[in-house]
Structure formats: structure tokens, C-alpha cells
A and B are shown apart, each in its own frame.
Chain A
Amino acid sequence: MAVSRRQFLKVTGVTTAGTAMGALAALGADLGPKVARAQELRIRNAKVYPTVCPYCAVGCGMLTHVVDGRIVNIEGNPESPVNQGNLCPKGAASYQLAVNPNRISQVLYRAPGATAWEPKPLDWAMDRIAELFKKTRDETLVEKTQDGKLVNHTLGIFSLGGATMDNEWNYSHSKLMRSMGVVAIENQARI
């Protein structure tokens, strides 16, 4: 066995030339036999879902690995012609954007003038938002300008955001807003 051979060499090394070890190493004797130890791959039994990086606009392909309904890993998709598996540090951190203790998972509500948040049921919030939306829209809708031009719009409501959301959302959201007469619709894309 290799070790005993080396022990022998070592002993002679000790008793003869002081730098025998260095010399031995220089001669290229390997200091450990190659051994294989089976490793556990944490995504072996995961379901894989193709996705796209949520950060910049390059559109890197990513793969989401899911075990028991929980995301366990997100990495670059080697198949994508856009990035061929590459990611930048942000893309590589996408997993932590999803699985993150600081992420808020309940609806928070702050009443006018209140000094703290209070958790609320999602349905309650949706009803309340719809109610406020209708109220403000009905109060501020302008049908005609002073000079008699038909406008059917409200400038009392402003919708901001969209460059980070799906095409389907951008399309349907602007559709809903315009059907309500909201024209002040904006996102990060001011170019």
C-alpha cells in the first residue's frame, strides 16, 4: 500500500537528507491516494422549471429546482442561447430573492395617520382598494375639457411600475386602467 511505502521513504528521509521530504515532493510522489466518496446532489430529485432572470433586460435563461413545492435552487440554463448557463451576481442570487427571511408574506395596512402597520386579510385589502379606486375615479373623472373636448379621463389616479412585470400584466393592467379612464400610467421605461 502506498502509505507504507511513503512511511518507509519518510523514515529514510528523516534519517538521511534533511530536505528529503521536499525532494520527495519535488519528485512528484503523490501525498494521498485518489479516493472516491459518493456525494449527495441536492437537486437530484428536484422538478425543473425553465424561467428567466428577473433583474436586468439581458434575459438570461434560468432553471428553477423545486422539491416538495419549495424552491431549492435557481441557476443559469446552459441551453439558453442568450447566456448559455452564465449569470451575473444578481442572477446568481435569484434564489435568495425568493427564499429570504426578510420577504413579506402577508398584507400590511396602514390606516390614515396610523403610526404602525397592521396585518390584514388579502380579500379585505382587495375589496378596500377596489372601493377607493372607484371612489377616487368617480370623484375625479373629467368627461370634457373646458374647451369642450371629450377626454373621459382622471388625472387623480397614477399607476407607476411595470418594467419588472410580465408582458401579460403590462397589457392587462394598462387595459384595466384605461377602461377606468386612468391615463397617468407609467413605468421605469422613459426612453
Chain B
Amino acid sequence: MAAAMGFYTDTTVCIGCKACEVACKEWNQLPATNGGANTLSGNSYDNTRELNGTHWRHVKFVEQFSPDRKQAQWLMMSDVCKHCVQAGCLEVCPTGAIIRTEFDTVVIQSDVCNGCRDCIAACPFDVIGINEATGTAQKCTLCYDRLQNGLTPACAQACPTASIQFGPIQELRQRADGRVSTLKAQGTQAYVYGDEKMLGGLNSFYLLVDRPEVYGLPPDPQLPSRSLGLSWLLSAGGAVVAGLAGALAFRKQRMDGAAEATTVGEGSER
């Protein structure tokens, strides 16, 4: 098996050009919103609005300005599937369409998926959506076909400022840690979002300079199965109580019940 590969997205060098969005659509031949006839969102320069079944890369824009413009920051971040080591989508997928590849990436095989949509609800990052064209759930494949042929994923190859970096995950993590300390030395509070402590590590992780929520990311993503056992336990408890109630109600009439068995018989003989 190949080494684990992934994305390291350094948001501090992102210029929000959206080359990643287009390069992704070009390589994966994904359609545009309403054939391109989209509407202005009014939310900074973000008009594609979300990650979904046809937007596998999405650049977020966050404007942070004080009235006097003394504090002036425009955060940009190219969002994508996190390719979690502990992947919620993969966990719930009932068809085995979602697999962990030899590159330790998470891929939805659209020839297997039957569109049950459980993965959409299971993803902690709101990454997956239905591609109307195929009727199946879709998301970033980390350019599985390109990886198998030794090519860089389309978005990472296109990214002009190396905000999106692709490579062996261990190498990327070292690079990110180095970058964090550099930035800290310069007085910028930077940190890595998606280290090994998060869902066993996100194979697409980020360098951020503000709280995860600011970028629309969950501070503490969980697996859908986090309380599966508890749910069944409580469910069993609930059922037992109901069952006992029933048993109680029906027990009293035991004799009539025995008698009744015959009456029914007779009744039906008439």
C-alpha cells in the first residue's frame, strides 16, 4: 500500500482566486450552478456558497474589519473533503460504496452508491451532497484517478500560491508545524486544524489563524457512531418498559384468554 497522501491547506497564503474550484470542475467535468446563471450571494466574493455534490472545492471569504479599519483582515480558505482517518461517511455507508483507498483517502464509488444519503447526514463537515446528474452522493475524490497515475490532484496543481499543498501526510504535517512556529514567531496566532487527535487525523488539514467556527468548521467533530451503543441501550430500555406495561395489562385476563381461545374456535365453526 502507498503512503498516506493528503492536502495541507495553508489559509494564510490563500488569495481566494478560486483556481482550485475551476480546476476541480475541469478535471472532474462537474456542472456549474444553473449552467452558470448563478446569483450574487452578497457574502463577500463567495458565490458558490457551499461544498456539495458538484462543488468539491469551495473558497470561503471572511471579512473582519473594525469601523476605523485599524483592524483589517480578509480571511480566505479553500475548503474540501477532510478525508478523515475515522470517516463518518464511510462508517455509515450501507453499500460499501465509500472506501478507504490505498492512499488512505476516502472515496465514494459512484458506480456502487445507490443514493441512500445517509453519508450526507453522517459527515461532520457538511461536505457531501447529491449530484443530480448521477443520483448518487459525491464529494472530492482527492483525484483518485490522477493519484494512481502519479499526477498531482487538479486543485493542488493549479493553486498559484501553494495554499493547497499535496503530498505524503507525514511530510505535510511537518511542513505545517514548521509554518505554525514561523507564524507564531512573527506574532500570528496560527494552529493546525485536523491533527491526529481529531477523528484519528484529517488527511486534508488546515492552518488557521482564528477559531474553527469563524471558518464554518466544527471545533470538535465526532463520528456518527459516537453514541450508537447508548442509543441501542436506551432503546432496549424503552421497549422493556413498554413491554412490561403490556405484559401487566394482558396478564390479568389470563383465564379469559384461555377460555376465549375456544369460543373463537366455536365461533368459527358456526
Contact between A and B in the complex (any CB pair below 8 Å): yes
From residue A168, how far is it (CB to closest CB) to chain B in Å? 28
| Contact across chains for B100 and A92 when beta carbons are under 8 A apart | no
A95 to B159, CA, bound (A): 17
Report if B109 contacts A (CB, 8 A).
Answer: yes
Please tell me which one of the listed residues A28, A33, A35, A75 contacts residue B200 in the complex, with CB atoms under 8 A apart: A28
**A-B pairs with beta carbons under 8 A, tally:** 133
Report the minimum CB–CB distance from B194 to chain A (whole Å).
15
Min Cβ gap B103→A in Å is 9
Interface-forming stretch among B63-71, B84-92, B183-191, B245-253?
Answer: B84-92
Q: Is B254 an interface residue (CB 8 A)?
A: no
B-contacting 9-mer, from A83-91, A130-138, A157-165: A83-91
A21 near B226 (CB under 8 angstroms)?
Answer: yes
Indicate if the CB atoms of B22 and A22 lie closer than 8 Å: no
A39–B148 CB distance below 8 A: yes
Instruction: Flag whether B215 is at the interface (Cβ < 8 A).
Output: no
In angstroms, Cα B223 to Cα A28, docked, is: 12
A76 interface hit (Cβ, 8 Å): yes
- State whether A28 touches B85 (Cβ < 8 A): yes
A13 to B193, alpha carbons, bound, how many Å?
29
Question: Which residues of B in the span 122-160 have a Cβ within 8 Å of any Cβ on A?
Answer: 144-146, 148-149, 151-152, 154, 157-160
A83 to B23, CA, bound (A): 15
The residues of A that contact B18 with a CB separation of less than 8 Å are 89
Segment among B203-211, B227-235, B259-267 that sits at the interface with chain A: B227-235
* Other-chain contact of B158, A13, A16, A76, A96 (Cβ < 8 Å): A76
Option from B26, B107, B144 in Cβ contact (under 8 Å) with A73: B26
| Contact present for B160 and A34 (CB under 8 Å) | no
Question: Which residues of the partner chain B approach A73 to less than 8 Å between Cβ atoms?
Answer: 26-27
Question: CA separation between A96 and B23, bound complex, in Å?
Answer: 11
Which B residues are closer than 8 A to A by beta carbons?
1, 17-19, 21-23, 26-27, 85-87, 90-91, 98-102, 104, 107, 109, 144-146, 148-149, 151-152, 154, 157-160, 199-200, 222-223, 225-234
4 closest residue pairs by CB, A with B: A18-B230, A39-B145, A22-B226, A21-B225
**Could you list 28 A-B pairs, sorted by A, with CB under 8 Å?**
A14-B228, A15-B229, A18-B229, A20-B229, A22-B222, A22-B225, A22-B227, A25-B199, A25-B226, A28-B86, A30-B85, A32-B90, A32-B91, A33-B100, A34-B102, A37-B101, A38-B148, A39-B145, A39-B148, A41-B151, A42-B145, A87-B160, A88-B17, A88-B158, A89-B22, A89-B23, A91-B158, A93-B26
